[in-house]
Amino acid sequence: MSDEDRDSSHVVPRVGLLVETQVGPGRDILRGIARYVRESGPWALHLEARPQIFMEGWEPKWMRNWKGQGIIARFDTNTTASAVKRLGVPAVDVLADMNTAFPVVHVDDAAIARLAAEHLLERGFRQFGFVAHAGERWSDNRLDAFANAVGEHGHECQVLHASSLRAVEGRNLRGKGRGCRDCAITGSSRCWEFRVRGSRRWSARA
C-alpha cells in the first residue's frame, strides 16, 4: 500500500445531517444514523439542531463553506434541495416526499398502513377514521392503503385532512351507533395518533 493510499484510508468522512428534531420520526432517523456510525464508522457528523420543521426559504448557513463528503436529509423544501445540489456531493433522501434526483431510503408506507388496519380488524373494530397530514405524499400513501385494507372487509373509512397538529384539535370524527364502541381512529404518523388520543375534543361518537 502506498503512502497516499494509507493516508486516504484514515480519512474520516464528514457527513452533514438535515433532519429536524421536532418530530419523533426525525429523531428516530438520527438515532439510526448514530447507531450505524457506532457500528460501521467513524464518521464526522454535522447536525444543526432544528426544534422546528424546515420552512421554505430557509437554508443552512453552515453549508456555504462546509467541506464534506455527503448529506443525509429529509427533503421537504425546494430551498433545501437546491442548497444540497449546489454542494455537488452525494446525498440521500430519507423522507421521499419530493421529486428530487437523490436516491431514497424510506419506509414502506403502504405496508405500515396495512399492518395498522389488520391490527384493528383483528380486535373487532368495524368503524374507522384516519387523520391525514394534508399535502404530504407519505400520508396520502398510508391513507390509500389503510382505506383499501378496511374496504376489502366491507368497511368505510372517514378521513380528516389537517395541515398541522394544532389544526387537529377541536375537530370530530363521528361513528355510527350509541357510544361507538367498535370505532377506531388512526393517524398518518405516531405523533398525530398521540394528539388524537390525548385530546378530549377528538371523538368517534354518534
Each of the 206 residues of the chain gets a pLDDT tens digit; together they read 444 444 455 689 999 999 888 777 888 899 999 999 999 989 999 998 766 667 788 888 888 889 999 999 988 888 889 999 999 999 999 987 777 889 999 889 999 999 999 998 998 888 888 888 887 888 899 999 999 999 999 998 988 887 765 555 555 555 454 445 556 666 666 554 544 444 433 333 32
Angle of helix 24-40 relative to helix 190-198, nearest 10 degrees?
A: 140
Give the residues across from 204 on adjacent strands.
173
Residue spans of the domains in the chain: they are 3-93, 109-205
Class of domain 3-93: alpha beta
Distance CA 107, CA 15 (A): 22
H or E element in which residue 142 lies = helix 137-151
Residue 64, C-alpha cell as written in the block: 456555504
Listed in sequence order, the DSSP H helices in 41-125 are 78-87, 109-122
Q: Is 191 helix (H, G, I), strand (E, B) or coil?
A: helix
Equal fold, 3-93 vs 109-205: yes
CATH-assigned architecture of domain 109-205: 3-Layer(aba) Sandwich (3.40)
| pTM of the shown model | 0.69
